[in-house]
A and B are shown apart, each in its own frame.
Chain A
Amino acid sequence: MSETASVLPGMKVAASRGGWLIWTLLAAAFALAPLLFRSGTSLTMMSLMGIAIIFALSYNMLLGQTGMLSFGHAVYFGLGAYFTVHAMNAVIEARLPVPVAAMPLVGGAAGLGFALLFGWVSTKRSGTAFAMISLGLAELVGSSSLILRSFFGGEEGVSTNRTKLLRLFDWNFGAQVQVYYLIAAWCLLCIALMYALTRTPFGRMCNAVRDNPERAQFVGYDPHRVRYIAFVLSGFFAGIAGGLTAINFELANAALFGASQSGNVLLATFIGGVGHFFGPILGAILVTFLQNMLSDVTEVWQLYFGLMFIATVMYAPGGISGLIMMHRPVWRAGALSRLMPGYGMMVVPVALAAAGAILVIEMATQIGVHGAQGTTMKLLGIGFDARSVPPWLVAGAMLGVGGLLARLVGRRIAAAWDDVRAMSLTHGGVA
């Protein structure tokens, strides 16, 4: 990078120093997390987060970087898991000297291979045609899994035993914490590789094809070829995530390439934000966390996910990372404090409206799902009858007042933003 150093010396050095700091912090976070969160459930959840991060980043290679909306990305994830399980069983059977840590590569190879196969046709076009073909392929693989029972193992899937492979450093991967570190290492490696990919000539042309495939042709690039390579590499990383899943659960079953798996990765990526590299990382962590927490407290947790997704699409299409990055210039200009009062006030109406919505959803669930067993229920320790009028009135009032207040506070925030923009404009003029 010496050639740019001559142009912008200070900036480049600062950027690379900041870069190393971020990578070191990330590695430290991965290494130290199990010391902070020691419980079995935390370890399991953090393992799932690591897998979800790889999967979501691989998905964003398509959606955010190359502009391809896939509804069937779990195909490469699931096939990666199956091939890993079968490979592990073969290794155990033949007593080959292969450690379990290397097995995700099998998943990666499977994901890559099937992406090579399925990708050629589907990447000819982006947009609706690509989305529809991805859905069709997912159906195809899903129904094959019912036919090829010897490979896919029918309802219960195929299981394996990760402790029976070659031991390195006396780790047998019986304990979840060892599996966690295996996943963490792979996750860190995959994050670094996928990040590096964005900074290659190919990575830049992915963005060009996303922005304007027609123009890309007139600077010498075949958009089909660019999409195809992106698709294949994305399949590789999805396969690695699948392989890690197989090791984590010691099992591969048809749910892994189901529609809900494909939907989840879209959800996580979009909520995290497709416009910045780190967005899907945040999304994967958040969605995995909520999935595990919410499914403990409510049976209609998927409904809440749907609402969250809709809210993101409507109010923050850039996702969490988009919201964060929107504030970076404000923070640099030292004007973040001007926005804070409005944001602080916003907590009240949002909490109020959310509480109202939760009340409505839970009461409806009580009536609709458990109506036969009676409609008395408990929320936050307060018991009431879901068929009586008062709780509905309370919920309606919370929604109404929350919505109204949100509008008022929203105006205040918009005004604060106008101030901040005007300020940074005049500052920009000076600089």
Chain B
Amino acid sequence: MTAPALELIGLKKNFGPAEIIRGVDLAIPRAERHAIIGPNGAGKSTLFNLISGLIPLSAGEIRLNGEAVSGKPPFEINRRGLSRSFQVTNIFPAMSVFENVRCAVLWAKGERYAFWRSVGGNRAVTERTEEVLSAINLQSRRDVQAGVLTYAEQRALEIGITMAGGANVILLDEPTAGMSKAETERAVELIRRISEGRTLLIVEHDMSVVFGLADRISVLVYGEIIATGPPAEIRASRQVRDAYLGEEVP
């Protein structure tokens, strides 16, 4: 049996005396689209920060494709095939859209820290950059400074940077937050496409997105997963309704 793409074992995180993640266990098999839902402040983003190596664990272990990655810095985890987006847009504001995407392609294409060859010389890098630009529909804005893009464009670029390296495990933190209905639909289409055959972990407040996209859903409340299962099961769960859905879904 192959190891799960991502495995969380007894994860805990406290900030000072406050326990924010209180023992999370979760195994996500390869190529699953998995959504995490939960009320504001439940610890969803904190969970992503732990998995991606941004902040250290208080206890527990994280395995990526069977390999323990807890305690490793973010770039090591990224090189092992995990990529993430941020809830608050996190791009390279003074660089052009094209350069933003290209920077996210370089390591994956083996360029590393090369300072002895031209960045334009690697065909694979340029092709992949173009591919991502067209996937996020920003070709026409390629030479614009990323910092002056509209909000929706920046959100698209955020996804573009996340997908560019071709990671096998993708973490998206509220990718459609603040988008209009039409923009959300386009974003969901894009997410569906880029996560084809890959493992996706997505935090999302928009229930139509969640139920339309996810193979399985976990409900995180006060730092604990109270339920995990296929959408139909989660929708029907009494416990989930009481804890979360009841107040959020009209």
Q: Could you list which residues of chain A lie within 8 angstroms of chain B, going by C-beta atoms?
A: 1, 3-4, 7, 196-197, 199-205, 207-208, 210-212, 214-222, 225-226, 229, 233
A217 touches B75 (CB 8 A): yes
Residues of B within 8 A of A (CB): 52-54, 73-75, 78-79, 83-84, 86, 90-95, 99, 102-104, 106-108, 111-123, 126-127, 130, 161-162, 164-165
Cβ–Cβ contact A219 & B107, under 8 A? yes
CB proximity of B175 to chain A, nearest CB, Å: 15
Which residues on the A side are within 8 Å of B127 (C-beta)? 3
Interchain residue pairs with CB less than 8 A apart (10): A4-B126, A197-B115, A200-B118, A201-B117, A207-B95, A214-B54, A214-B90, A215-B86, A219-B83, A220-B107
Q: Which residues of B have CB within 8 Å of A225?
A: 113
CB-CB under 8 A from B164, the residues of chain A are 219
CA distance A214 to B54 in the complex (A): 9
Nearest B residue to A205 via CB reads B103
B73 and A222 form a contact (CB under 8 A)? yes
Question: Are B114 and A201 interface neighbours, CB within 8 A?
Answer: yes
Chain A residues closer than 8 Å to B120, beta-carbon distance:
1, 3-4, 199
- CB <8 Å contact, B114 and A208: no
Chain A residue contacts of B79, Cβ below 8 A: 220
Instruction: Give the complex CA separation of A200 and B107 in angstroms.
Output: 13
Say how far B64's CB is from chain A's closest CB, in angstroms.
14
Q: How far is the CA of A157 from the CA of B19 in the complex (A)?
A: 62
Contacts of A212 in B (CB 8 A): 90-93
- Residues on B with C-beta less than 8 A from A216 are 75, 92, 103
**Nearest B residue to A223, CB-CB:** B75
Cα–Cα distance between A197 and B113 once the two chains are bound (Å):
11
Is B112 a contact partner of A201 (Cβ separation < 8 A)?
yes
Option from A197, A218, A229 in Cβ contact (under 8 Å) with B52: A218
Q: Nearest Cβ distance between residue A265 and chain B, in whole angstroms? A: 22
Our pick among A1, A200, A207, A229 for the contact of B92 (Cβ within 8 Å) is A207
Residue of B52, B53, B93, B104 most packed against chain A (CB within 10 A): B104
Q: Are A218 and B78 in contact (CB under 8 A)?
A: yes
The tally of CB-CB contacts under 8 A between chains A and B is: 110
Decide: A203 near B74, CB < 8 A? Known: A212-B91, A215-B91, A219-B164: no
Residues of A within 8 A of B103 (CB): 204-205, 207-208, 216, 219
Q: How far is the CA of A208 from the CA of B130 in the complex (A)?
A: 19
Residue of A nearest to B53 (CB): A217
| Bound CA span A289–B192, Å | 61
A38–B15 CA distance with the chains assembled, in angstroms: 70
Known: A219-B164, A220-B106. 20 other contacts (CB 8 A): A3-B126, A4-B126, A200-B115, A201-B112, A201-B115, A207-B92, A208-B95, A208-B99, A212-B90, A212-B91, A217-B73, A217-B74, A218-B78, A218-B162, A219-B83, A219-B165, A220-B78, A220-B107, A221-B113, A222-B75
Nearest 8 interchain pairs by C-beta: A220-B107, A202-B115, A201-B111, A211-B92, A217-B74, A219-B104, A3-B126, A208-B103
Chain A, residue nearest B112 (CB): A201
CA distance A202 to B117 in the complex (A): 9
Q: State in angstroms the CA–CA spacing of A218 and B171 once bound together.
A: 11
Across-interface contacts of B161 in A (CB, < 8 A): 215, 219
A197, A202, A229 — most chain B CB neighbours (10 Å): A202
Q: When chains A and B are docked, how far (Å) is the Cα of A207 from the Cα of B93?
A: 10
Question: Which residues of chain B are near A220, meaning CB under 8 Å?
Answer: 75, 78-79, 106-108, 165
Residues of chain B with a CB closer than 8 A to A7's CB: 130
In contact, A204 and B91 (Cβ under 8 angstroms)? no
Cα–Cα distance between A197 and B114 once the two chains are bound (Å): 10
Report the Cα distance A3→B120, complex, angstroms: 8
A200 surroundings in chain B (CB, below 8 A): 114-119
Min distance, Cβ B136 to any Cβ of chain A, angstroms: 15
Q: Choose from B52, B86, B119 the contact partner of A204 (Cβ within 8 Å).
A: B119
Q: Which residues of chain B have C-beta atoms less than 8 A from A203's C-beta?
A: 115, 119
B145 to chain A minimum Cβ distance, whole angstroms, is: 10
* A211 and B75 contact, CB distance less than 8 A: no
Closest chain B CB from A170 CB (angstroms): 36
Residues on A with beta carbons closer than 8 Å to the beta carbon of B94: 207, 210-211
Q: Give chain A nearest CB distance to B108 CB in angstroms.
A: 7
Given contacts A217-B73, A220-B107, contact A201 B99 (CB under 8 A): no
CB distance from A179 to the nearest CB of B (A): 30
B85 nearest CB neighbor, chain A only: A218
Q: Which residue of B lies closest to A222 (CB)?
A: B75
Tell me whether A221 and B119 are in contact (CB under 8 A).
no
Known: A214-B90, A219-B165, A226-B113. A199 touches B75 (CB 8 A): no
Q: Which of B75, B83, B118 contacts A221 (CB 8 A)?
A: B75
Whether A1 and B121, one on each chain, are in contact in the complex, defined by CB atoms closer than 8 angstroms, is yes
- Let me know if A205 and B113 touch, CB within 8 A: yes
Q: How far is the CB of A351 from chain B (nearest CB, A)?
A: 35
A214 to B78: give the CA distance in the assembly, Å: 13
- Report the minimal beta-carbon distance from A173 to chain B, rounded to whole angstroms: 31
Bound Cα distance from A4 to B127, whole angstroms: 9
In the complex, what distance in Å separates the CA atom of A216 from the CA atom of B73?
12
Provide the residues of chain B in CB contact with A208, threshold 8 Å. 92, 95, 99, 103
Instruction: Determine whether the beta carbon of A219 is less than 8 Å from that of B119.
Output: no
Give complex CA distance A196, B119 in Å. Answer: 10
